[in-house]
Structure 1
């Protein structure tokens, strides 16, 4: 017990004004997208009032991860930006992300002016980062490394733009998995035990439409005169959850539905822990409602647009309520327009896609569906597979406006064919239209080859088995040649006389 108390007093002493100060903040931004999906952006920011660029040796780390601090000191790194992304960001559907990143792995580093062998230092740095993040960064070499001169300016302090100290590389085929997320979470002061990091469950994050995790390290100014320097570490994680797979067609989102967990406390080491929900497109609560409600609102300029957010402060116990658990819920008040989708299961059930849309007059609406071709078992092919496979007709059900009102109460006085057009509203009538079947060409094997193989095999087996069967079952006897006619007549006479035959 005495040793434990002594360690606590030692940590408290390091936070005194005479020692370098550090600060940790965590935020989660949730934005409902126009496509019906949900965009969640995590950001964890650690600022440390120390300066690695002057060669200062740091022996104690409190909030700043020691592994990254040693990398900055050893390789004289001025800025480091690394990201691991799974999926592709759909700009036309989702808008602009907070932190853009390409699919796969991306790494770009600005070295200090004191580095003499930049290429050698870059090679050693990629090997070290490969071990820290459990990635294939060690495959980065001169064949996939470039030196941009305009696209990747330093984001921190300083105006030096000598691209000789910049290295950039990507690995587009890098597969992002739990092995990359686990060391990324270990860099956080509270890990995944408390705060917003408890929501980072790999089973949910990697079953999303888009997932990107990144680490950004840069020097920043402590004051407006920039006389002293601090180091900033930003860990970001952006994820887009698909409405049709995650929400089962319901326009309703919650923390538990997205992450399978709720929040019970903020990170004890965080000076700020907040959740922001973008309500810019829902000023009066006409489209959706957020529960539990919060009176805190905040405005910020994001990508040139002024946005409004509902704020939940996790450092305040009143945020969690009496149940001491926070499960934010976003529920749309109307379900008109988005989509019912039921994914298929191989050899069990087909796809089901239903869309409720309102078409303006004299317009053309085009619906496209992306699919991937797959190989079937040879027993599943139709007798004429080269002709193609048919997809069933689509069904279009519509309420068509009508000038003539239809009285459904007097159906007995009308012809029988009028009963095919039931109607509940006087201003429209119901119509169901079927499209023609869709013919899809799938890759088919050469069925003549199996036929030839079967015929040849059966022939060889029949000939070989028949010959072997004859040798094993047929018996052989020695027979004397039959005597001539004269000899037979003589033997008959000799037999009648009782004399032995010739």
Structure 2
């Protein structure tokens, strides 16, 4: 009987499990419980944005006309609306110097409404930590980057996504925020804990409110710059503690997909390393009836030919990252590798192994490029070895890199420790077209600018800016902010010079290594640069993701933002050995002089009589027995 009962129970349990599984399958087919992924062609991104005009503008609203206005980014979908979607890509560009540039991009699209104040409790692909930050602090856009090293524009060309050395963060808040400064302070402290960075040191002395730079990249008609905050930490050191929480934000982490290649030992042993997080709202259709949020995680790295110990000009995924690829992220709807083969026509300069017949033309940074595409979602990419290792072998050292149309440099001039000059050089390498640039400078308060000494010269002549916005600093309260719109003549070098005076800090305000100097953040130069080729407005999913971050509908120009080098300025530094000598001398005087006097004043003195002899003690014992007083 017991055996029959157990058999009946097993039969009933099996029948119930079959019914539950069948019901789940039907719910999945209906698309109600778990949204299915989009295919590789299911998302098509087009972008509309107002761009700057290169013509002359007036004094009052010049920056508003020149800075690109709020772009309306649209992601139309051919199928039913999806709740979330994840895409990943790796773009590899061999450089003429023998180095190699690798750019990772991981994009998560999520259909939800944070702006409306709705509470979101379910997170699938979008990281919960960032979703709670957006909801709690009413963030409209968030852009944060951590960079180690300086991007050499004249050797490597323009980066896909620029960033300054150190840490940079700029945030657009919603217009419902009443206390922007308080919210900004709380947000930086929270982000400091998420990314294990020193963002909690951001305060009013190193953050500003730009008036024309850093327009919103997402949807919305935000024009009030009271809801914008920008800050930099040029001395921030990027290490594994920053990379680990960044990788944890990915849906697959570092266990599958392209994130497997993100090995910290190889990434930080490079000439340039930059990781960033960009969050912005986007339109889902052309009429913007529904919105979604885009989380774009980027990582750019340049591997040096000599630093890596390479004996010859040959690169592979294993030599760059010490790992190979075995599969794509199972949660990704698109996982591809793009290799820029534009500089190697018909394999004259380098060859790829394994070769691929898939080629994708695209217009990147105003130049027409050609990419070899490897789709990791196809099992044929990995072959019979179930492992993918891309090999790039150089065949010729001939070739030249086209100079970037816009380049900027900055340095400190002068002698002594009282006054100095800041020189900013902006190069317009276009042979016959001029264009305006918007320059933003954030100078600490301990460098007191003489704004009346500001001069702008081009080709030996004075070049008057058409727009200038300057906010003076307050000692230990706020920094200098200088924004100006300058027209760069064709094939010229424009120099911006301003004098400053070094302040003498309090001895508690100096860093532990004051003789090393103090860092001044990079200048930000933004412009619409004339394009060499016509911009292709028919963007498809086959184009790399970086091509859609700073899009432009205008065919004659494209948006570029570049950063100069950070400055290292020496300040008047006192002799910190003197306080040590004074402390030692004071302690000696206190110990010898005051200590001895205090000991004499507080000591108790007592008179001790000498011990009597043996005969006297015996006599006293006898006298005590007789009742006579002792001697």
- The TM-score range, normalised by the shorter chain, is 0.5 to 0.7
In 2, Cα distance between equivalents of 1:42 and 1:247: 23
The alpha-carbon deviation at position 247 of structure 1 amounts to 4.9
The alpha-carbon deviation at position 15 of structure 1 amounts to 1.5
Give yes or no for the alignment of 1:196 onto 2:216.
no
Task: Give secondary structure in 1 for the equivalent of 2:361.
Answer: strand
In 2, Cα distance between equivalents of 1:18 and 1:60: 20
Comparing both structures, which one devotes a greater share of its residues to helix? Answer: 1
In 2, Cα distance between equivalents of 1:18 and 1:35: 48
Residues 261 and 323, structure 2, Cα contact 8 Å, conserved in 1: yes
Residues 205 and 211, structure 1, Cα contact 8 Å, conserved in 2: yes
In 2, Cα distance between equivalents of 1:283 and 1:228: 44
Give yes or no for the alignment of 1:57 onto 2:77.
no
2:532 corresponding residue in structure 1:
none
The alpha-carbon deviation at position 198 of structure 1 amounts to 0.1
Residues 358 and 372, structure 2, Cα contact 8 Å, conserved in 1: yes
2:227 corresponding residue in structure 1:
165
In 1, Cα distance between equivalents of 2:98 and 2:184: 43
The alpha-carbon deviation at position 120 of structure 1 amounts to 0.3
- Decide which of 251, 260, 281 is 2:313's aligned counterpart: 251
2:192 corresponding residue in structure 1:
130
Residues 194 and 267, structure 1, Cα contact 8 Å, conserved in 2: yes
TM-score by length of 1: 0.64
Distance 1:174 1:332, change over 3 A: same
In 2, Cα distance between equivalents of 1:18 and 1:94: 42
What runs of 5+ residues in structure 2 fail to find an aligned partner?
1-13, 37-78, 401-631
The alpha-carbon deviation at position 150 of structure 1 amounts to 1.4
Once the two structures are superposed, residues 118-168 of structure 1 have per-residue CA deviations (whole angstroms, 9 ceiling, x without a partner) of 000000000100010001111111111100111200000123221100000
Once the two structures are superposed, residues 291-349 of structure 1 have per-residue CA deviations (whole angstroms, 9 ceiling, x without a partner) of 000010001111111100000000000001111100000001135799xxxxxxxxxxx
2:613 corresponding residue in structure 1:
none
In 1, Cα distance between equivalents of 2:175 and 2:338: 40
1:309 corresponding residue in structure 2:
371
Distance 1:224 1:141, change over 3 A: same
- Decide which of 163, 187, 190 is 1:101's aligned counterpart: 163
- Decide which of 350, 362, 372 is 1:288's aligned counterpart: 350
In 1, Cα distance between equivalents of 2:397 and 2:362: 29
The alpha-carbon deviation at position 211 of structure 1 amounts to 0.1
The alpha-carbon deviation at position 42 of structure 1 amounts to 0.1
Task: Give secondary structure in 2 for the equivalent of 1:281.
Answer: coil
Give yes or no for the alignment of 1:182 onto 2:244.
yes
Residues 247 and 257, structure 1, Cα contact 8 Å, conserved in 2: no
1:152 corresponding residue in structure 2:
214
Name the Cα RMSD after superposition. Answer: 2.3
1:66 corresponding residue in structure 2:
128
In 2, Cα distance between equivalents of 1:312 and 1:114: 45
Q: How does 1:321-336 map to 2 (within 5 A)?
A: 321-334=383-396
In 1, Cα distance between equivalents of 2:80 and 2:312: 55
Residues 76 and 115, structure 1, Cα contact 8 Å, conserved in 2: yes
Task: Give secondary structure in 2 for the equivalent of 1:143.
Answer: coil
Q: How does 1:306-455 map to 2 (within 5 A)?
A: 306-334=368-396
Distance 1:286 1:20, change over 3 A: closer
In 1, Cα distance between equivalents of 2:160 and 2:113: 28
Task: Give secondary structure in 2 for the equivalent of 1:174.
Answer: coil
Larger Rg: 1
In 1, Cα distance between equivalents of 2:319 and 2:206: 40
After superposing on structure 2, the runs of 4+ consecutive aligned residues of structure 1 that deviate more than 4 Å are 8-12, 16-20, 335-338
In 2, Cα distance between equivalents of 1:143 and 1:335: 49
In 1, Cα distance between equivalents of 2:372 and 2:315: 16
The alpha-carbon deviation at position 245 of structure 1 amounts to 2.0
1:36 corresponding residue in structure 2:
98
Residues 349 and 398, structure 2, Cα contact 8 Å, conserved in 1: no
Distance 1:244 1:57, change over 3 A: same
Residues 247 and 253, structure 1, Cα contact 8 Å, conserved in 2: no
In 2, Cα distance between equivalents of 1:94 and 1:108: 26
In 2, Cα distance between equivalents of 1:40 and 1:160: 34
Distance 1:246 1:56, change over 3 A: same
The alpha-carbon deviation at position 227 of structure 1 amounts to 1.6
1:494 corresponding residue in structure 2:
none
In 2, Cα distance between equivalents of 1:61 and 1:51: 13
Residues 208 and 241, structure 1, Cα contact 8 Å, conserved in 2: yes
In 1, Cα distance between equivalents of 2:399 and 2:278: 40
1:76 corresponding residue in structure 2:
138
The alpha-carbon deviation at position 283 of structure 1 amounts to 1.7
The alpha-carbon deviation at position 49 of structure 1 amounts to 1.0
In 2, Cα distance between equivalents of 1:26 and 1:35: 28
In 2, Cα distance between equivalents of 1:337 and 1:148: 41
Residues 266 and 314, structure 1, Cα contact 8 Å, conserved in 2: yes
Task: Give secondary structure in 2 for the equivalent of 1:226.
Answer: coil
1:270 corresponding residue in structure 2:
332
Once the two structures are superposed, residues 465-493 of structure 1 have per-residue CA deviations (whole angstroms, 9 ceiling, x without a partner) of xxxxxxxxxxxxxxxxxxxxxxxxxxxxx
Residues 251 and 335, structure 1, Cα contact 8 Å, conserved in 2: no
Residues 157 and 221, structure 1, Cα contact 8 Å, conserved in 2: yes
Distance 1:189 1:48, change over 3 A: same
Distance 1:138 1:5, change over 3 A: farther
In 1, Cα distance between equivalents of 2:215 and 2:279: 14
Task: Give secondary structure in 2 for the equivalent of 1:244.
Answer: coil
Number of residues of Structure 1 aligned to a counterpart in Structure 2: 337
Task: Give secondary structure in 1 for the equivalent of 2:242.
Answer: helix
In 2, Cα distance between equivalents of 1:336 and 1:55: 58
In 2, Cα distance between equivalents of 1:101 and 1:213: 9
Name the structure, 1 or 2, with higher relative contact order (CA <8 Å, separation 6+). 2
1:215 corresponding residue in structure 2:
277
The alpha-carbon deviation at position 20 of structure 1 amounts to 5.8
Comparing both structures, which one devotes a greater share of its residues to strand? Answer: 2
In 1, Cα distance between equivalents of 2:275 and 2:375: 24
